[in-house]
Amino acid sequence: MDAGLLIARMVFGLLMAAHGSQKLFGWFGGHGLAGTAGFFEMLGFRPGKLFAGAAAATEVSAGLLVALGLLGPVGPALIVSVMIVAAATVHWQHGLFAQNNGVEMPLLYGAAAAALALTGPGAYSLDVAVGLTALSSAAIAWAALAIGVLGGFANLAARRPVPAQAAA
């Protein structure tokens, strides 16, 4: 089981960090912070640069925390938070499947993050190496996930969509 968790954490965490790096640095074919900020402005997140930077930094740091198995459910809870925002603002109106830009990918990322928060990072993790295994208790995992969900919805509440007549 621990080897399986290591593989899942490494692939999932590094892909999430790379996804955030597209936004933050323009790596891997991304648009960088300036391009992402403009997109966030169109979504109603103003100031766009602040929200884009926060989302990108969250994705990078959360992905690295997951890959390293560090700080228990903190990284997964952060991923749940940003995936709620992505699903609601970008993907929901396109249905389920990714081929139509639907919610499939943020749903998979969010579900995988929740699963990793609830299972813990496994024996091959920095948490085990430095003695932070208490962070992977069920109570802490559920609390972290609840905070992540609340954070996602709080971010959505801060959104100020452009009125339809102003966008035209």
Per-residue pLDDT tens digits for 97-132: 999 999 999 999 999 999 999 999 999 999 999 999
pLDDT at 167 over 70: no
Beta carbons of 23 and 17 less than 8 angstroms apart: no
Position 165 confidence tier, pLDDT thresholds 50, 70, 90: low
- Model's pTM, two decimal places? 0.93
Give the pLDDT mean for 64-75: 97
What pLDDT was estimated at residue 161? 79
pLDDT at 164 over 90: no
Beta carbons of 149 and 82 less than 8 angstroms apart: no
